[in-house]
Structure 1
Amino acid sequence: MARPRTPLLSRELIRDVTLRLVDEYGLEAVSMRRIAAELGVRAPSLYSHYATKEELLDDIADTIGESVDVSGFEGDDWQEAIRLWARTYRAALAAHPNMVPFLASSPGTRPVSLRAADAIHGGLTRAGWPPRFATMIGASVKYIVIGSAITSFAGGFDDHIDTYNERYPHLSQAHRLREYAAEIDADGFELILESFLHGLAERYDSLRSTETPGSETAGT
């Protein structure tokens, strides 16, 4: 029997091809028609697997989200759990920066994101954080990670020495930043993460010290 002239479509194949196109060209440049052309099929063939492009991107978002590790929140060390979560979250987004705007939008409607949020909130509240603080911690980590993943501070500088050395004397070495952008960005992320955790630890100790028997602090 002759082989089919078009590939056998599956959700996994469509996801993989779409993500590759998004990584290379960006979200706005990728349409169902372009995805179909890349697969060697007609666009209607895709709709038996995904009703809309939005549904396809949601599935890709869930796939990326599965690499984010929130297992630490099952244990007793909430700081180490946050470290593991934040680092794997950043790695997942940094691997696909063109997907970050979509990943950052409406995460509360996606099953993988909801399961992660449930694990994080549950772990923090079990550790003694009041629910409101647990929610704010989750939001704060999201701000730190997305800010780190979506742009490069060091990569934004010109690598020509003449750009800075006369007009901006305090930036006389700024032309070297792009060369070390990955290292600086990674270390900058670790600096803010550890500073954030240090501040949280102080707040945690303060909250615990003000609790009294029968207090409602942990539930507000």
Structure 2
Amino acid sequence: MSAPRSLELQPRKPGRPRRPPLNEALIAQAALDIIDEFGWSACTMAALARRLGVRAPSLYHYVSGQQEIVDLVRELVVSEIHDPAIVNLPWPEAMHRFGVAYYRAFTNHPNVIQVLSTTPVRDAATLQMYETFLQTLHRDGWEGARAFEALLGIEHLALGFAFEWNAEDLMLDSAIAAGLGAPLLAEITRDRTDQTNIAEASYLSLLRRYIEMFRLELTADR
């Protein structure tokens, strides 16, 4: 009878895979996943703990509460926008790239718009994104207040159109407008029947005009 194989040579029995160690990045991604699926109100500490397969008290070793969750989620969304390479581009191209990335990030995550747009910024990632944008314009001779005005304008345009992009129903129905005594509006909106295309085309058109407006202003100043 042969001797038993050593323990070192015996194959390990299959078992449950080990859960990755909890950290801020995992918590942030789980929070954003919940918000994307169910809305911000669903992202409680208890729901977050269930998503991560831990007990709620364990989360407090990594985050202090809901305000820190907001900061972490904002950092994740900003990571889809911030491109440090824009500092090497001419300002019109940099502004356009920033504006498109900003819009795309919030069309991807519309459920974060209300909270992130009304909560003070406290994370380094967002501040660095703003700093990069401002430095890009400053390098090309922009005065600080005008550069900041341009930044705020792009944010407001992008957030508004991203929110509209995700509207479930057509915002302006030509037939309803005609029936309620708005014939010109009805005529203009007759062929505008795809809400997502309307929002995106309108935003990109306005972004181009917005950039051109600043270009003309700067040319006139010089």
TM-score tier (shorter): 0.7 to 0.9
Match of 1:198 in 2: 212
- The CA deviation at 1:62 is 0.6
Specify whether residues 53 and 154 from structure 1 end up closer, same or farther in structure 2 by C-alpha distance, changes over 3 A only.
closer
Secondary structure at 1:41 match in 2: coil
Sequence identity percentage: 23
Q: Identify which range, 160-169 or 80-89, moves more after superposition.
A: 160-169
Letter matched to residue 64 of structure 1: V
- Choose the corresponding residue for 1:85, options 90, 98, 102: 98
In the other structure, the counterpart of 1:136 is: 149
2:19 matches 1:41: no
Task: Report which stretch shifted further, 124-133 or 8-17.
Answer: 8-17
Residues 100, 150 of structure 1: 8 Å contact kept:
yes
1:59-208 equivalences under 5 Å are 59-106=72-119, 108-152=121-165, 156-157=169-170, 163-168=176-181, 169-170=183-184, 171=186, 174=189, 177-178=192-193, 180-208=194-222
Whether contact under 8 Å (1:154, 1:184) holds in the other structure is no
Rounded to whole Å, the distance in 2 between the matches of 1:85 and 1:5 is 40
TM superposition shift of 1:78: 0.3
Per-residue CA deviation, residues 40-75 of structure 1 (Å, 9 max, x unaligned), is: 322101111212122122112112101114435412
Q: Per-residue displacement from partner, 1:109-159 (whole Å, max 9, x unpaired)?
A: 221111111111111111011111111111111111111122249855379
Cα offset, 1:84, TM superposition? 0.2
> Could you say what the CA RMSD is over the residues aligned between the two structures, in angstroms?
2.8
Higher helix fraction (1 or 2): 1
The 8 Å contact of residues 35 and 112 in structure 2, kept in 1 or not, is answered as: yes
Q: Distance in 2 between the 1:5 and 1:125 partners?
A: 50
Kept after mapping to 2: 8 A contact 1:21/1:30: yes
Rounded to whole Å, the distance in 2 between the matches of 1:97 and 1:153 is 7
Instruction: Measure, in 1, the Cα distance between the counterparts of 2:141 and 2:101.
Output: 24
1:155-213 deviation digits (Å, cap 9, x = unpaired): 553798764453344426857645x11111111001110111111111011122xxxxx
User: How far, CA to CA, are the matches of 2:87 and 2:103 in structure 1?
Assistant: 20
Matched residues, number: 207
Find the aligned partners of 1:76 and 1:30 in 2 and give their Cα distance.
39
Please tell me whether the aligned partners of residues 76 and 127 of structure 1 are also in contact (alpha carbons under 8 angstroms).
no
Preserved contact between residue 99 and residue 158 of structure 2 (Cα < 8 Å) = yes
**Counterpart for residue 50 of structure 1:** 63
The TM-score normalised by the length of structure 1 is 0.81
Q: Which residue of 2 aligns with 1:28?
A: 41
Q: In 2, Cα distance between the equivalents of 1:23 and 1:154?
A: 15
